[in-house]
Amino acid sequence: MRTYRDAKLMARALREAVAPQTPLSHAQALEIVARQFGYDDWNVLAAKIGEPDASPAADIDQTGVSLNMGIPILRIFDLEKAKEFYMGFLGFSMDWDHRYGPDFPIYMQVSRSGLQLHLSEHHGDASPGSTVFVWMQGVDAYRSELIGKSYPFSKPGIQESGPGGRTLEVPDPFGNRIRFCEKRP
């Protein structure tokens, strides 16, 4: 195993393999994979193997600082609506989820094609009504995919004169907006 993504795929395979006998959440499967590699928990394993797209050492500036891509946190209020929108409509996969206890708010990561988003029900994590700007390729194909789904709450269009390029803005059920933008040639 060499990458963070490999570990996530192992957890997904484990979860699918044992699902008929023992249902596991993705978070539980991640913890099992971490223990298989001799780490106390998933957070330690993830830190040790790093993100698959981590910046190379050449990106260290003159002060010795290297910053990697951030992960936006979006506030959600209803887990089922979030799953319907982010996984069902936008086509993301849930990478992991976390709760401090059975009746506590959820914090989870979803991803698609290298884009990671954190979704949180926690009051102090993010403000509703946030906007995330995402560079992408294939904006027409993505719009066609979205329009072809039977999601009645959104039929987004492409803004031809958006800043930077053609922009597909998709609002989520919680007032957040994701702007998928394809650079002009």
User: Which residue in this structure is represented by tokens 């989820």?
Assistant: 97
5 token code pair: 């993504």
pLDDT at 53: 47
- Residue 58's pLDDT is 53
Residues of the chain with pLDDT under 50: 1, 52-55
Between the alpha carbon of residue 162 and those of residues 130, 133, 182, the distances in Å are: 18, 11, 9
| Distance of alpha carbon 58 from alpha carbon 151, whole angstroms | 44
Give Rg (Cα) of the chain: 18
Non-local CB neighbours of 21 within 8 Å, separated by 6+ positions: none
81: which residues sit within 8 A by CB, 6+ positions away?
Answer: 173, 174
- The predicted pLDDT at position 30 comes to 82
**What digits encode the pLDDT tens for the residues 55-87?**
455 577 788 888 888 899 999 999 999 999 999
Overall pTM > 0.75: no
In terms of Cα–Cα distance, which of 16, 6, 73 is closest to 46? Answer: 6
Structural domains in the chain, CATH included, are 4-55 (no CATH), 73-183 (3.10.180.10)
Cα–Cα dist 87/129, whole Å: 20
**For residue 54, what pLDDT is reported?**
45
